[in-house]
Amino acid sequence: MNKECNKEEFECFLRGMGIKGSGFEGIEEEIKIINLLNRLDKYRWAEDHNIKNIESYEKRIIKALDELG
């Protein structure tokens, strides 16, 4: 679950999307992988454009890797 919302808010979100708790568990790993790929793509973009604060992109990649466990 995301740290941007509490458990009740997250459950309301899932209901609104038509996803039951067990359904989310089935796609949670894929979501984490997609998040990592998204972070890697943003890092690649930042590196190509000589972004000065690239460390923030690196931290997000590390966090996404940690979430994959």
pLDDT of residue 42: 93
pLDDT of residue 12: 92
Mean pLDDT by groups of 10 residues along the chain of 69 residues: 80 90 88 94 93 91 90
Kindly report the pTM of this predicted structure: 0.70
- CA pair distance 4, 16, nearest whole angstrom: 17
Domain-embedded: residue 30: yes
Range of the domain at 45: 7-68
Domain-embedded: residue 1: no
Amino acid at 52: K
Q: How many folded domains does the chain comprise? A: 1
- CA pair distance 47, 11, nearest whole angstrom: 37
- Supply the DSSP string of 24-50, one letter for each residue: HHHHHHHHHHHHHHHHHHHHHHHHHTT
Domain-embedded: residue 2: no
